């Protein structure tokens, strides 16, 4: 018994917390979190870690739980490890065991008190809309194609400015959420156009289940002049969840960054690895 306790003490003494910067194409995954049915990013990543350390039973914890079909270019995760692989070597060790749809961009050792989710001060998402008549094969996995109307991105941007700050966003929360309340703080939100690409970026302390996609659905209706800003504001301020029915497709959404009080990874430029597409207005749809 003494030998067993001694072994456990040595193992705990050498335990290290490893932080990973992760990218993934969410197209074929059931989401970040392990599910009873379907292949999850968490499951594939944990299996790859286990192949390098069979004694490691620790779960991988993420800064944000992305839904099925949602991508990530700046997901941050952590796990605990008691072996001899240096922190910086996990990038190369895991990439050799992961499918092409998941890439590790960087890996570092963090203090045991640091937590990928609880230590995060914000998460930032980008939703991309391809607003042109004709489809583009090389954008189809990453963008929502809206071609009936030329979206009014200026009106969309005006509509989101009232979301800034701490509010109850019950209207943008899908059923099935385990949160005690729907209060969160939006720190930054902006809608802009570059050629045929309309981009919606939103940064908050945390996000509700389905929040960004429900919000984007409302903004598209505003951009098509089918919904007024006044009605939009009434819906979310009065928590009229039953009036918000359209959720934008998952494929246009990407988690591009999780932020912390200190810089976690060596190269800050690695954080936003999702490209900002810029296409000329060569085949834009007509004004509505």
Active site residues: 67
DSSP string, 151-210: --HHHHHHHHGGG-EEEE-GGG--TT---S--EEEEEEEEEEEEBTEEEEEEEES---TT
Residue 156 phi, psi dihedral angles, 5° rounding: -60, -45
Residue 183 phi, psi dihedral angles, 5° rounding: -90, 130
């Amino acid at each position: 018994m003494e030998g067993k306790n001694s072994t456990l003490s040595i193992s705990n003494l050498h335990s290290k917390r490893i932080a990973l910067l992760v990218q993934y194409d969410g197209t074929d995954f059931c989401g970040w979190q392990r599910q009873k049915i379907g292949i999850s990013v968490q499951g594939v990543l944990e299996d790859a870690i286990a192949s390098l350390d069979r004694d490691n039973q620790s779960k991988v914890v993420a800064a944000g739980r992305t839904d099925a079909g949602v991508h990530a270019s700046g997901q941050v995760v952590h796990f605990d490890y008691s072996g001899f692989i240096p922190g910086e070597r996990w990038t190369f060790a895991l990439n050799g065991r992961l499918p092409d749809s998941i890439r590790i961009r960087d890996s570092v050792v963090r203090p045991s008190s640091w937590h990928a989710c609880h230590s995060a001060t914000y998460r930032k998402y980008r939703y991309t809309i391809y607003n042109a008549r004709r489809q583009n094969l090389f954008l189809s996995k990453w963008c929502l194609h809206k071609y009936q109307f030329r979206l009014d991105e200026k009106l969309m941007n005006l509509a989101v400015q009232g979301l800034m700050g701490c509010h109850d966003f019950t209207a943008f929360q899908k059923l099935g959420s385990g949160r005690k309340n729907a209060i969160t703080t939006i720190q930054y939100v902006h809608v802009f156009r570059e050629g045929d690409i309309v981009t919606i970026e939103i940064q908050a302390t945390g996000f509700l289940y389905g929040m960004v996609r429900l919000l984007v659905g409302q903004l598209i209706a505003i951009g098509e002049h089918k919904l007024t800003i006044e009605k939009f504001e009434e819906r979310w301020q009065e928590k009229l969840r039953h009036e918000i029915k359209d959720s934008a497709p998952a494929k246009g959404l990407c988690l591009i960054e999780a932020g912390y009080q200190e810089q976690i990874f060596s190269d800050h430029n690695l954080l936003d690895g999702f490209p900002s597409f810029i296409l000329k207005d060569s085949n834009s749809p007509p004004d509505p």
